[in-house]
């Protein structure tokens, strides 16, 4: 059976539908073109924005690299502050960071300069100190010494750095003292040590002090050799003086200006009749009233000491323990301190009683001799008168006068 051909109306209807679909496709195509144009324009803007962002990022990275390079330059001690000027003018966080960095570096440089000046001043002070100074860690490793200490060993200060205590002599008193100090709980200590030199021994007073929470220590050594020698000389002098004081035949004493004995030697006690110096010092509480027979002699003694500061061969009578009297000769001087303040009197007493007795006996003999001489002179004068011509004439006249009276 032959197929029925579509009618005209059907075809027109189909055409109309197709035209409608075509129009819709055209409209959609136009929309797609508009959309494509919009997308293309937006893509171009986005690319431009991305490019600009990339450029900004590159510039930012360059600035970050400058800041990083500046940090490396600071570490290598070759930083120049002007290298961050271009970054520091920015108002963003990186600019603020650059400004802070510049200020920080400037502050650090100033502090480093101040520290260098302080270190230079400290080194000058340490080198000027008249003593050996060293500092070390808690294990006894030298961190430094001053020039005086280094020169005493004919070394440079740098030669000590990193060396162990006593590297030149482990058995030295200095090393032993410091090892004990570092191992102890003490924060400060001092000790006198002896160092044997090529010719003679030297003596030092070592003072040690811990710091940095006891992780380090500093020591100062003062040469006290002259002081030790002076002390030894003084000790020998005191021994010699004590020997002379104790064994002298003359009485030796020290007394206050007010009249109290400070010291008396055995000879002094024996001279005054006491069994011991202790007994005499305990008994005689006031020299002027208890020992002087004539109080005016004590007054004269005080005046001479005030005017001259000494008396020589000052003779007077004293009372002994038993009340008897004795003649003494005194040589005494005033002892003062460095400011001239009177401390005490120091003197020597000699018993001159026998000499005084001999002098009195001699004076008695002289007086008696004078009497004899006077008698002899008178006899001689009488004899001379009797033998004279005038006496003979007078005698003859008297005889004649007697004869005449007899005749009468």
Same domain? For 99 and 177 the reply is no
DSSP letter at 334? E
Is the same domain home to 106 and 161? no
So what's the pLDDT on residue 353?
A: 92
Q: Is the pLDDT of residue 210 over 90?
A: yes
Let me know whether 284 and 351 are in one domain: yes
- Whether the pLDDT of residue 306 is over 90: the answer is yes
CB 132 within 8 A of CB 204: yes
Answer yes or no: is 382 within a domain: no
Does position 128 have pLDDT exceeding 80, yes or no?
A: no
Q: At what angle do helices 93-128 and 8-75 cross, to 10 degrees?
A: 10
Q: Identify whether residues 339 and 351 lie together within a single domain.
A: yes
**370-397 confidence digits (pLDDT tens):** 777 777 777 677 667 667 767 666 667 6
Q: How confident is the model at residue 405 (pLDDT cuts 50, 70, 90)?
A: low
In a domain, 316, yes or no: yes
Q: What is the DSSP string of 376-392?
A: HHHHHHHHHHHHSHHHH
Domain CATH number, residue 328: 3.30.450.20
- Position 102 in a domain: yes
Name residue, tokens 């000879």: 267
Q: How many distinct structural domains can be found in the chain?
A: 3
123 and 211 share one domain? no
pLDDT tier for residue 171 given thresholds of 50, 70 and 90:
confident
Task: State the pTM of this model.
Answer: 0.46
Q: Which domain holds residue 65?
A: 57-128
Contact 217, 211 (CB under 8 A): yes
- Provide the mean pLDDT of the chain: 83
* Confidence tier at 364 by pLDDT (50, 70, 90): confident
pLDDT band at 251 (very low <50, low <70, confident <90, very high): very high
What pLDDT does 268 receive? Answer: 95
Do residues 256 and 344 touch, judged by C-beta distance below 8 A? Answer: yes
What does the DSSP assignment read for 123-145?
HHHHHHSSSEEEEEETTSBEEEE
Same domain, 180 and 118: no
Q: Which contacts (CB < 8 Å, 24+ apart) does range 192-196 have?
A: 192/224
Are 142 and 134 in contact, with CB atoms under 8 Å apart?
yes
Cβ–Cβ < 8 Å for 268, 252: yes
Q: How far is C-alpha 77 from the chain's CA centre?
A: 41
Nearest CA-CA partner of 250 in 268, 238, 270 = 268
Tokens 């004439």, residue?
393
Residue 213 pLDDT level (bands cut at 50, 70, 90): very high
Please state, in angstroms and as integers, the Cα–Cα distance from residue 123 to each residue in 108, 143, 206, following that order: 22, 14, 20
Boundary (domain end) residue, out of 229, 258, 282: 229
Query: And the tokens for 157?
Result: 């200060």
In a domain, 349, yes or no: yes
Separation CA 323–CA 283 (nearest Å) = 13
Q: In percent, how much of the chain has pLDDT > 90?
A: 37
113 with 139, same domain: the answer is no
* Domain boundary residue, one of 98, 128, 158: 128
Furthest CA-CA distance within the chain = 266
User: In angstroms, rounded to a whole number, what is the distance separating the alpha carbons of residues 317 and 88?
Assistant: 105
Q: What is the pLDDT of residues 307-323, one digit of tens each?
A: 999 999 999 999 999 99
Q: Which of the pair, 79 or 229, is modelled with greater confidence? A: 229
- Please, how many CA atoms are within 13 Å of residue 115, restricted to the half-sphere of its CB? 6
Neighbours of 272 (CB within 10 A): 22
64 located within any domain: yes
Backbone angles phi, psi at 141, to 5 degrees: -100, 125
Same-domain status, 173 and 208: yes
């Amino acid at each position: 059976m032959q197929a029925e051909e579509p009618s005209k109306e059907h075809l027109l209807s189909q055409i109309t539908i197709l035209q409608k679909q075509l129009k819709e496709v055209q409209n959609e195509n136009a929309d797609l073109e508009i959309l494509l144009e919009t997308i293309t324009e937006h893509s171009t803007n986005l690319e431009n924005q991305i490019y600009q962002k990339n450029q900004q990022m590159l510039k930012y990275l360059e600035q970050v690299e400058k800041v990083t390079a500046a940090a490396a330059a600071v570490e290598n001690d070759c930083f120049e502050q002007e290298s961050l000027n271009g970054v520091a003018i920015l108002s963003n966080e990186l600019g603020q960071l650059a400004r802070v960095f510049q200020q920080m570096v400037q502050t650090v440089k100033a502090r480093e300069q101040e520290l260098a000046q302080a270190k230079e001043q400290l080194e000058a002070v340490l080198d000027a100190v008249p003593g050996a100074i060293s500092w070390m860690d808690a294990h006894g490793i030298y961190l430094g010494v001053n020039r005086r200490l280094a020169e005493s060993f004919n070394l440079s200060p740098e030669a000590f750095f990193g060396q162990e205590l006593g590297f030149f002599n482990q058995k030295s008193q200095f090393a032993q003292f410091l090892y004990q100090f570092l191992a102890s709980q003490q924060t400060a200590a001092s000790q006198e040590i002896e160092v044997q030199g090529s010719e003679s021994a030297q003596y030092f007073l070592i003072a040690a002090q811990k710091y940095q929470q006891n992780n380090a220590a500093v020591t100062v050594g003062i040469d006290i050799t002259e002081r030790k020698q002076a002390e030894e000389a003084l000790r020998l002098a005191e021994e010699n003086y004590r020997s002379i004081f104790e064994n002298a035949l003359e009485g030796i004493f020290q007394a206050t200006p007010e009249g109290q004995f400070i010291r008396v030697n055995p000879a002094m006690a024996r001279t005054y009749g006491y069994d011991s110096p202790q007994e005499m010092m305990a008994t005689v509480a006031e020299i002027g009233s208890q020992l002087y027979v004539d109080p005016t002699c004590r007054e004269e003694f005080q005046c001479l000491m005030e005017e001259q500061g000494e008396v020589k061969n000052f003779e007077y009578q004293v009372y002994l323990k038993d009340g008897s009297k004795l003649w003494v000769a005194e040589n005494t001087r005033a002892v003062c301190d460095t400011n001239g303040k009177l401390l005490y009197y120091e003197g020597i007493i000699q018993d001159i009683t026998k000499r005084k007795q001999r002098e009195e006996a001699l004076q008695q003999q002289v007086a008696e001799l004078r009497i004899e001489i006077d008698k002899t002179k008178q006899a001689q004068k009488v004899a001379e008168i009797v033998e004279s011509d005038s006496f003979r004439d007078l005698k003859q006249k008297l005889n004649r006068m007697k004869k005449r009276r007899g005749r009468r």
